Amino acid sequence: MPRRQTPPDSTGKPSSTVLHEVDVGEQSISAYRRSTGDGAVDELHELSRALQGVRVMHRLPTPYGGGEAEILRSQIPLLRDLGVATD
């Protein structure tokens, strides 16, 4: 699993915190059209345009098992499908 070092702390020294990248797979927001209708999916595409060019990074204390981690395993691929740069 790739490791990334966080940016320097307030003193300018490299942080010793190591972040682990988690494979969240891929999902398509279009798969929800049948259950939500075209209008809801189209609205999500429209709303996501405001986030184009912005990077959203989620940081959690544990990559697996917690409720937040499980939600992000679904949410991140959908945000990426909408064109939002998300880690």
Share above pLDDT 70 across residues of the chain, in percent, rounded to a whole number: 77
pLDDT value at position 28?
95
Q: pLDDT category, 8, cuts 50, 70, 90?
A: low
> DSSP string of 3-70?
EEEPPP-TTSPPP--EEE--------GGGGHHHH-HHHHHHHHHHHGGGTT-EE----S-SSSSHHHH
Residue 76 CB coordination number (10 Å):
20
For residue 2, pLDDT beyond 70: no
pLDDT in tens, 44-78: 999 999 998 899 888 777 767 777 778 888 889 99
pTM: 0.69
d(C-alpha 75, C-alpha 26), whole Å = 10
